[in-house]
C-alpha cells in the first residue's frame, strides 16, 4: 500500500541541503534531488517542496530523521490511508516538533480526550497553574506557535516548484 505526502522544507542553510536529500532518500528508497530556491523570509536560506508516494508512516519517519537539525524549518504531511488518519508534522528550531491529525482540507483535528483535559484544567487548575488557561491550551493543541513561526515562510514559498518522488518496492 502506498500513501501520498508532501515535504515542505521552509528554510534550511545551504550546507544542510545535501544531508536533507540523503535522509529523505534513505526513507523513501529513491534518489532525491530537491528543487532548492532562495527563501526570502530568511536571507541566505533555501526552501524546497517535494511530493512523495511511499508506505504509511513515511511522514513520521522523515520528521524523525530531520527533527533537531539546527536552523531547519519544515512540515511533512501524509494523506489518510486505511487504518491511518491524515497527519501533519511541523518543526521549528524554537518550538521543536508538533504533530496533529488533519482533516481532508488540512484543518487540525483535536481528539476528544485532549479537549476534555483542557476544559478540566481550565475549570480546576492544577497547583501552580493559573486559572483560565483554556485559550492557551487550545492554542497549543492546534499548534498556534508553530503556525505563527512558519507562516512567513509558507507565504514566501508561493509559486515554488514541486517534484514527485515514488518509493520503490
DSSP for 2-31?
A: -EEEEEEEEEEEGGGHHHHHHHHHHHHSS-
C-alpha 100: how far from chain center: 9
Give CA–CA dist 122/104, Å, rounded.
Answer: 30
Whether the Cβ atoms of residue 90 and residue 146 lie closer than 8 Å to each other: yes
Residue 28 CB partners (closer than 8 Å, separation 6+): 52, 54, 58, 165, 167
Q: Where are the domains of the chain?
A: 3-109+145-166
Is the model more confident about 161 or about 101?
101
In this prediction, residue 37 carries a pLDDT of 95
Residue 162: pLDDT band with limits 50, 70, 90? very low
Residue 130 has pLDDT above 60, yes or no: yes
The full 3-state SS of 46-113, as one line of letters, equals EEEEEEEEECCCHHHHHHHHHCCCCCCEEEEEECCECCECEEEEEEECCCEEEEEEECCCCCEECCHH
Is the model more confident about 44 or about 166?
44
**Model pTM score:** 0.86
Is the model more confident about 28 or about 133?
28
| Averaged confidence pLDDT in the chain | 88
What percent of the chain has a predicted confidence (pLDDT) above 90? 70
Read off the pLDDT of each residue in 38-67 and give the average, rounded to a whole number. Answer: 94
Residue 165 has pLDDT above 60, yes or no: no
Residue for grid cell 488557561: 133
Residue for grid cell 482533516: 103
Residue 92 has pLDDT above 80, yes or no: yes
In this prediction, residue 164 carries a pLDDT of 47
Read off the pLDDT of each residue in 62-79 and give the average, rounded to a whole number. Answer: 94
In this prediction, residue 111 carries a pLDDT of 92
Amino acid at each position: 500500500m502506498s500513501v501520498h505526502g508532501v515535504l515542505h522544507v521552509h528554510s534550511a542553510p545551504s550546507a544542510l541541503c545535501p544531508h536533507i536529500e540523503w535522509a529523505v532518500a534513505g526513507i523513501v528508497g529513491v534518489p532525491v534531488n530537491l528543487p532548492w530556491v532562495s527563501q526570502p523570509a530568511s536571507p541566505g536560506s533555501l526552501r524546497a517542496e517535494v511530493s512523495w508516494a511511499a508506505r504509511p508512516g513515511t511522514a513520521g519517519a522523515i520528521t524523525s530523521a530531520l527533527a533537531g537539525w539546527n536552523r531547519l524549518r519544515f512540515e511533512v504531511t501524509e494523506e489518510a490511508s486505511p487504518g491511518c488518519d491524515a497527519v501533519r508534522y511541523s518543526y521549528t528550531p524554537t518550538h521543536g516538533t508538533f504533530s496533529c491529525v488533519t482533516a481532508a482540507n488540512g484543518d487540525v483535528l483535536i481528539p476528544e480526550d485532549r479537549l476534555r483535559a483542557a476544559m478540566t484544567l481550565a475549570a480546576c487548575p492544577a497547583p501552580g497553574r493559573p486559572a483560565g488557561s483554556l485559550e492557551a491550551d487550545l492554542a497549543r493543541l492546534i499548534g498556534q506557535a508553530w503556525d505563527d513561526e512558519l507562516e512567513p515562510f509558507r507565504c514566501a514559498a508561493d509559486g515554488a516548484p514541486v517534484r514527485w518522488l515514488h518509493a520503490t518496492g
